[in-house]
Amino acid sequence: MYLNPFYTPEVHGPYEMISIGRLELERGGVIEDCRLAVRTVGQLNEAKDNAILIPTWFTGTHQAWIDTYIGPEHALDPSRFFIVIVNQIGNGLSTSPHTTDDESIAMSRFPFVTIGDDVVAQEWLLREHFGITELFAVVGASMGAQQTYEWAVRFPDRVHRAAPIAGTAQNTPHDFLFTRVLLDAVTSDPGFNDGEYASNTDVVEGLGRHARVWGVMGLSTEWWKSGAWRALEFETPQQVVEGFLEPTFTALDPNSLVVMGRKWQHGDVALHTDGDLATALGRVTARVFVMPISEDMFFPVRDCATEADLIPGAELRVIDDVAGHFGLFGFVPEYMAQIDHHLGELFAV
Amino acid sequence: MYLNPFYTPEVHGPYEMISIGRLELERGGVIEDCRLAVRTVGQLNEAKDNAILIPTWFTGTHQAWIDTYIGPEHALDPSRFFIVIVNQIGNGLSTSPHTTDDESIAMSRFPFVTIGDDVVAQEWLLREHFGITELFAVVGASMGAQQTYEWAVRFPDRVHRAAPIAGTAQNTPHDFLFTRVLLDAVTSDPGFNDGEYASNTDVVEGLGRHARVWGVMGLSTEWWKSGAWRALEFETPQQVVEGFLEPTFTALDPNSLVVMGRKWQHGDVALHTDGDLATALGRVTARVFVMPISEDMFFPVRDCATEADLIPGAELRVIDDVAGHFGLFGFVPEYMAQIDHHLGELFAV
C-alpha cells in the first residue's frame, strides 16, 4: 500500500465505498472484501425504473462522467434519472492493488479480473444495495463499452437500453497487441520491480512512455496535424505531451494499469457462447445505439459497425470527432452535443 | 564496434561499399569517411538517362527492393533501367554506429544525420562515382519517400520522375511522437546503456518492445481483425508477433534505429523555404505520383493527398492494401501489381 494522491476525494469529489463482500473471480482467485467506489447522481423513483448504470473506462473514474457528461443540460439528466457510476475493479478507487489492506491481493498479488467480474459485482451492488433489478440504460465508453455489452448479453432481460461508446463487445487482435504495448511501457521500467514499487513515482519513466503511446493511438493523426490541439491552449505538440499527456498518466498507479489492461485484453461477450459472437450479440434485447468515434485509431468505426450488425435492432450512431478516442474527454466542443443527441433519442424510446 | 550478423552479405546479397569521402552534416558534425552501401542492377546506357535511384526505408536495406520490387516482370525492370539502391546513412550497412572504425563517431557518438545529408551524399555518389547527373526517376518508400521528396525539391531540374510511396515530404506531429515511442522502446532498455551496449542481444527486450509497437502501427487494425495475417502462414496473432515481428526487429542494431528514427522525425522539405511547404513543393518539376497505402496507420492517405495538391501536376495514386504500412513488404498478393501499374505509367510519360 502507498498513498497516491490522485485516488482521493480531493481529486475525485465525493464518492461512496460500498462493500459487496466476497467476489469469486471467473479466472480463479477471490477478492474477500470487494469494495466498489460508487458515485450516484439524481434520485431513484418509486418504480425503480429510472436507473442508469455507467461503468468506467481504462484509467477513468466517475469524475470524467461528472465533469463532462452529466447535468441538467445533458441527456444524462439527474432530474430525470438515478445515475450510478461504478468505478471498475482495480481502477485505483474500487478495490485495487495499491490500496487494499488484504495482503493476499496487494500490489503484484492482485488477481486477474475480467469484464465479467465487474458486471457480476455491479449487478450485486445494484440489486442488494440499491434494490434495482432492471436498468433503464447502461452507458459506457471504451472499457465501459465492454462492460455495457457484457451487461446486455449476460442479463438481456434486465437492460432496456444500451449505449456502448467507442468500444467493442469482443476485443480485437490489434487491440490485444496495443494493450500489450501500453503495459510493456510501464512494466519494463526497472522501477516497476514486478509490481512491488514503493510509489508510482518510482515508475515515472515507464508511465511517461505509456503516456506517449496514448498520444499516438488515443489521439488521431488528424488531431495532431490540423492543430486541433490548440484548443487545449498549448502552443506546440511537445507542450501537449509534457503538459497534458505525461502529467495525466504519470499520476496513475502502475498496477492499476496492469489490472485494467489485462481485463481489457480479454473482454469478449462470446465467452458466453463458446466463441460465437453472433449468437452472443443475438441474445441482446436492449435497444442499442452503437456509438464509435469517427477518428478512433483503435476502435475504428468498421469494427463497431460489424458488431452492430449482429445485434437485433441496433443502430450505428457515429460520433464525428477529430480527436479520435480521446474525444471521450469532450475537449472538442461539438462532441457532447452529438452524445446528447443520440442518448436523448435512445432514452426517448 | 561489434559484429551483427544481420548486416552482412550472407543476409543481404552482394553490395558495394563506396566512399564519398568527407561529409559535413547539416546539423553539425562530420563523417570523415562516409561510405555508402550500394547495390546496382541493370546497365547505365550511353546517354546516362536511364538511372533510377532508390533510397531505403527505416530498418530497410537494398535487399527488400531486390526481393520484391525489381525484376524483368516489374516496372523496375533491370533490362531497361540502371537501378541504384543506396542504403541510407546509419542503416547498419552504410556508415553506421556499430560498424565504423572511426572512434569519434562510433556507437553513441554517431552524429545527427538528416534526410538532406543522405540526399547530398547520394548526389555526390551518382555524379562522381557513376557520372550520373540526371535521374530518370527517384522511387522510395516511407523514409525513402522522404528522401525522394528531398531530391525533387533540392534538385528539381535533375529529377524527371518521382514516386514517393507511403511517406511524406514534411513529417507530421503525430509521426514525430510515434517515432519517439519507437525509440523510447529501445533506449529505455537498461541494456541499451546510452548506446554503449556490447551487442544488439543486450537490448533484446527493448528491441522486442519496439517490434510490438510496429505491430500496432505498421499493420492495420483490419489486417489483424480480418485474419489477413494467415497469408504469412501463422495460426494465431501471437505467432505473428513471436514468429515475424520480434525476430525481424530484434536482429537490428539499436543505435541504427536511433540514428534513422531521429532522421525521420526531422524530415521536412520546407527547411529549404523558411518553413513554407507550399513554396517548397511548388518548386518540383518532376512528374510525381504520390502513392500512399490505403490502410496506412501513420502516413494516412489524406496527409499524402494534401502534399500532392501542392506539387504541380502531381497525381495521387492510392495503393489499396489491407496490411497498412507494412504492405511495403509485399506480402499481400495484389500489392505489387498496383505498384507496377502506377510505376509503369509514371515511367511511360
Instruction: Indicate yes or no: CB of B224 within 8 angstroms of CB of A177.
Output: yes
Are the C-beta atoms of A157 and A285 separated by less than 8 Å?
yes
Enumerate the β-bridge partners of residue A293.
A319
Q: Does B192 contact A at CB distance below 8 Å?
A: no
Are the C-beta atoms of A281 and A310 separated by less than 8 Å?
yes
**Catalytic choice (A12, A62, A160, A325):** A325
Instruction: Find which of B221, B249, B304 to mutate to test the A interface (most A CBs within 10 Å of its CB).
Output: B221
Q: Which residues contact B248 (CB under 8 A, 6 or more apart)?
A: B211
Measured distance CA(A155)–CA(A116) in Å, rounded = 11
**Cα Dmax for chain B:** 54
DSSP category for residue A215: H
A174 to chain B, minimum CA–CA distance in Å? 5
Q: Does A185 contact B at CB distance below 8 Å?
A: yes
Q: Does A45 contact B at CB distance below 8 Å?
A: no
B84 to chain A, minimum CA–CA distance in Å? 33
Who wins on pLDDT, A1 or A291?
A291
Residue A349 has pLDDT above 90, yes or no: no
Instruction: Indicate yes or no: CB of A225 within 8 angstroms of CB of B297.
Output: no
pLDDT (tens digit, 9 = 90+) per residue, A92-130? 999 999 999 999 999 999 999 999 999 999 999 999 999
Whether residue A132 lies inside any domain: the answer is yes
DSSP string, A251-310: TS-HHHHHHHHHHHHT-BGGGGGTT-HHHHHHT--SEEEEB-BTT-SSS-HHHHHHHHTT
A241 to chain B, minimum CA–CA distance in Å? 9
Instruction: Indicate yes or no: CB of B184 within 8 angstroms of CB of A209.
Output: yes
Residue of chain B whose Cα is closest to the Cα of A188: B189
Instruction: Indicate yes or no: CB of B172 within 8 angstroms of CB of A217.
Output: no
For chain A, the first-to-last Cα distance in angstroms comes to 47
Check residue A333 and give its pLDDT.
85
Which set of grid coordinates corresponds to residue A158?
Answer: 434486465
Is B325 a residue of the active site?
yes
Check residue B167 and give its pLDDT.
98
- Overall domain count for chain B: 1
Whether residue B202 lies inside any domain: the answer is no
Closest CA to A225 of B265, B172, B307, B167: B172
| Residues 289-348 (B) with a CB less than 8 A from some CB of A | 297-298, 300, 302-303
Element containing residue A176 per DSSP (H, E): helix A173-187
Q: Report, as ranges of residue numbers, the positions in chain B whose pLDDT lies below 70.
A: none
Is A296 a residue of the active site?
yes
Whether residue A17 lies inside any domain: the answer is yes
Check residue A14 and give its pLDDT.
93
Is B296 a residue of the active site?
yes
Residue of chain B whose Cα is closest to the Cα of A184: B209
| Residues 115-154 (A) with a CB less than 8 A from some CB of B | none
CA distances from A256 to A115, A305, B338 (A): 14, 30, 47
Measured distance CA(B16)–CA(B87) in Å, rounded = 11
Range of the domain at A54: 9-172+273-348
pLDDT (tens digit, 9 = 90+) per residue, A213-228? 999 999 999 999 999 9
Taking residue B9's Cβ as centre, other Cβ atoms within 10 Å add up to 10
pLDDT (tens digit, 9 = 90+) per residue, A246-262? 999 999 999 999 999 99
Nearest to B224 among A173, A190, A297 (CB): A173
Whether residue A202 lies inside any domain: the answer is no
Instruction: Indicate yes or no: CB of A221 within 8 angstroms of CB of B303.
Output: yes
Residue B290, SS3 per DSSP: strand
Closest CA to B57 of B166, B195, B163, B151: B166
| Residues 247-286 (A) with a CB less than 8 A from some CB of B | none
Nearest to B184 among A173, A212, A237 (CB): A212
A332 to chain B, minimum CA–CA distance in Å? 18
pLDDT (tens digit, 9 = 90+) per residue, A332-345? 889 999 999 999 99
Kindly tell me the sign of the dihedral angle through the C-alpha atoms of B69, B72, B76, B79. Answer: positive
Check residue A174 and give its pLDDT.
98
Check residue B46 and give its pLDDT.
97
pLDDT (tens digit, 9 = 90+) per residue, A145-175? 999 999 999 999 999 999 999 999 999 999 9
Are the C-beta atoms of B58 and B261 separated by less than 8 Å?
yes
Bridge pairing between strands B82-86 and B161-165: unpaired
Check residue A201 and give its pLDDT.
98
Whether residue A258 lies inside any domain: the answer is no
Check residue B349 and give its pLDDT.
81
Name the amino acid, one letter, at A65.
W
Nearest to A212 among B181, B190, B237 (CB): B181
Q: Does B14 contact A at CB distance below 8 Å?
A: no
DSSP category for residue A236: S
pLDDT (tens digit, 9 = 90+) per residue, A167-206? 999 999 999 999 999 999 999 999 999 999 999 999 999 9
Whether residue A178 lies inside any domain: the answer is no
B326, with CB counted inside 10 A (0-12, 13-18, 19+), is: buried
The residue whose grid cell reads 479520435 is A324
A284 to chain B, minimum CA–CA distance in Å? 23
Which CATH number characterizes residue B300's domain? Answer: 3.40.50.1820
The residue whose grid cell reads 551524399 is B121
DSSP category for residue A49: -
Q: Does A206 contact B at CB distance below 8 Å?
A: yes
Strand order in the sheet with A315-316: A16-19, A35-41, A82-86, A51-55, A137-141, A161-165, A287-290, A315-316
Whether residue A304 lies inside any domain: the answer is yes
Instruction: Indicate yes or no: CB of B188 within 8 angstroms of CB of A173.
Output: no
DSSP string, B159-189: BSEEEEES--SB--HHHHHHHHHHHHHHHTS
Check residue A329 and give its pLDDT.
96
Whether residue A179 lies inside any domain: the answer is no
Taking residue A27's Cβ as centre, other Cβ atoms within 10 Å add up to 12
Instruction: Indicate yes or no: CB of A216 within 8 angstroms of CB of B177.
Output: yes
Please report residues of B whose CB lies closer than 8 A to that of A217. Answer: 216
Q: Does A215 contact B at CB distance below 8 Å?
A: yes
Mean of the per-residue pLDDT values for chain A? 97
